[in-house]
Amino acid sequence: MKKSIKLVTLLAAVSLIAGVAVAPASNAAKIKACIALDTGGVDDHSFNASAWAGAQASASIADVSYLPSSSAADYAPNIKKFVDQKCDLIIGVGFAISSSIVASAKANPTIKYAVVDDAALDCNADYSVCNPVANVKGLTFSTDQSAFMAGYLSAGYSKTGTVATYGGAPYPTVTIFMDGFANGVAYYNKIKHKKVKVLGWDPANPKAGVFVGDFANTNKALSLSQGFEQQGADVIMPVAGGLGAATAGQSMKSGKSVTIWVDSDGFYAAPQFKSVLLTSVVKEIGASVKSAITDVSKGSFTNTAYVGTLANKGVSMAPTHDLSSKVPSRLAVEVRQIGLKISGGSLKSK
């Protein structure tokens, strides 16, 4: 009898110890994830807003915070503040902040870093040699794929035979949209034997591309949009973050054009413009940010880049929403088929 009591007591003790050792994951300490925003504000209805939404969606596993940037001069100081706050993961938003993230990562190898929209490589002065950094993950997107679909749609939608695009600055993460858009128009022209013109960008002559010069000059964005309309463009795709509002506002005012939003689905991100938004070329930025935070929380973080594609739903072309009735049903079907071909690898967007 005494032996039985001792055995029960021993088993209870082992169970208690085991219970402590395998405490539910919900009781695990949250990591600290910190977001260094690009210029434009957290409510830019585009890049920053999407990244912050992804961080907020991770609130169950991470304490999240952000710092805004009024100019590029704020990048390094903001990152340094996060280092001093002992963040477990620091995420920089946008290609422009990448070099500051890489510099901080090299100086703080125990902290994990990620950059939205850049491979985040350590390059020499002329970029002839670039190498990955052990504690930095690039969050990248093949937006040329979904922009190709939008270019084809625009060419088929246009009544004037002229469409346009412009960028905020000539970053690769901007021009990849413009490449895809122009290539989609070219593909439409090829199979339909048409001659729809693209203003603002020619992949074969990037030096002649049209850019605002930054992502904050609303007046310049408005002027470019008006100029495109004067040249006959009735579809305009601004790849300039929050400056898309200037183009959409002009579309509403003039009635001469429709706008293609980028980064997020403008129908929801900027509903005040939904009556003139033909579609949006979407990056699932929030999903990529949440993925990086989850990896750090699980202890499975690596520096292997995340690449969003049509196939893995990391990029997409949004529905035509309120303008659906103005898009010929045959054109809509063709655009969907093009997306499937790109996803399957039988059609190249570059």
| Chain segment 83-114, per-residue pLDDT in tens | 999 999 999 998 889 999 999 999 999 999 99
Residue 211 DSSP symbol? B
Name the domain boundary from 141, 159, 190: 141
So what's the pLDDT on residue 45? Answer: 74
pLDDT tier for residue 3 given thresholds of 50, 70 and 90: very low
Both 66 and 55 in a single domain?
yes
Q: What is the mean pLDDT of residues 167-182?
A: 95
Q: What percent of the chain has pLDDT over 90?
A: 80
> 263 and 242 share a domain?
yes
- Binned at pLDDT 50, 70 and 90, residue 228 comes out as very high
Same domain, 191 and 214: yes
| Structural domain includes residue 2 | no
Question: Are 177 and 109 members of one domain?
Answer: no
**Average pLDDT value for residue range 251-276:** 95
pLDDT (0 to 100) of residue 10: 40
Same domain, 119 and 229: no
Q: What is the CATH number of the domain that holds 40?
A: 3.40.50.2300
Task: Provide the number of structural domains found in the chain.
Answer: 2
Where does 188-324 show beta strands of DSSP type E?
Answer: 197-199, 235-239, 258-263, 277-283, 306-308, 315-317
The region of weakest confidence among 207-211, 229-233, 260-264 is: 260-264
**pLDDT for res 46:** 76
Query: Is there a domain that residue 200 lies in?
Result: yes
pLDDT over 70 at 7, yes or no: no
Residue 303 covered by a domain: no
Do residues 117 and 220 both lie within one domain? no
> Does residue 123 share a domain with residue 97?
yes
- Give the model's pLDDT for residue 180: 98
Mean pLDDT over the full length of the chain: 91
Q: What is the pTM of this model?
A: 0.79
Q: What is the pLDDT of residue 16?
A: 36
> What mean pLDDT do residues 247-257 have?
98
- Domain final position from 88, 119, 141: 141
Is the separation of the CB atoms in 222 and 197 below 8 Å?
A: no
Q: What pLDDT, on a 0 to 100 scale, did the predictor assign at position 186?
A: 98
193 and 217 housed in the same domain: yes
Position 124 scores a pLDDT of: 85
Calculate the dihedral angle through the C-alpha atoms of 296, 301, 305, 307, rounding to the nearest 10 degrees.
Answer: -60
Residue 24 has pLDDT above 90, yes or no: no
Query: Would you state the pLDDT for residue 28?
Result: 66
Confirm whether 8 is domain-assigned. no
d(CA 221, CA 167): 9
Between 150 and 49, the more confident residue is: 150
Q: What is the pLDDT of residue 135?
A: 97
In a domain, 279, yes or no: yes
In this prediction, residues 132-154 reach a mean pLDDT of 97
**How are the residues of the chain apportioned to helix, strand and coil, as percentages rounded to the nearest 5?**
50, 20, 30
Whether pLDDT at 136 is above 90? yes
Please report, for residues 39, 74, 114, the alpha-carbon distance to residue 81 in angstroms, rounded to integers and kept in the order given: 17, 11, 16
Q: Is residue 302 part of a domain?
A: no
Cβ neighbours of residue 295 closer than 8 Å, sequence gap 6 or more: 137, 301, 302
Domain limits at 102?
Answer: 28-141
| 185 plus 325 within the same structural domain | yes
Judgement on whether residues 199 and 77 belong to the same structural domain of the protein: no
- pLDDT, position 235: 98
3-state class of 259 per DSSP? strand
For residue 195, give both structure tokens: 């001659």
pLDDT of 26? 44
**Which of 141, 160, 195 represents a domain boundary (last residue)?**
141
- Distance, in Å, from the CA atom of 32 to the CA atom of 78, rounded to the nearest integer, reads 15
Tell me, what's the pLDDT at 47?
Answer: 81
Bridge partners (DSSP) of residue 128 are none
**252 shares its domain with 176:** yes
Residue 244, token pair as written in the block: 């898309």
Q: Is residue 8 predicted with pLDDT exceeding 60?
A: no
Average pLDDT over residues 211-216: 94
Same domain for 81 and 193, yes or no, is no
Residue 337 falls inside a structural domain: yes
Mean pLDDT of 276-290: 94
Q: Which stretch of 180-184, 269-273, 337-341 has the lowest confidence by average pLDDT?
A: 269-273
Please indicate, yes or no, if residue 251 is contained in any of the structural domains. yes
Question: What pLDDT is recorded for position 264?
Answer: 87
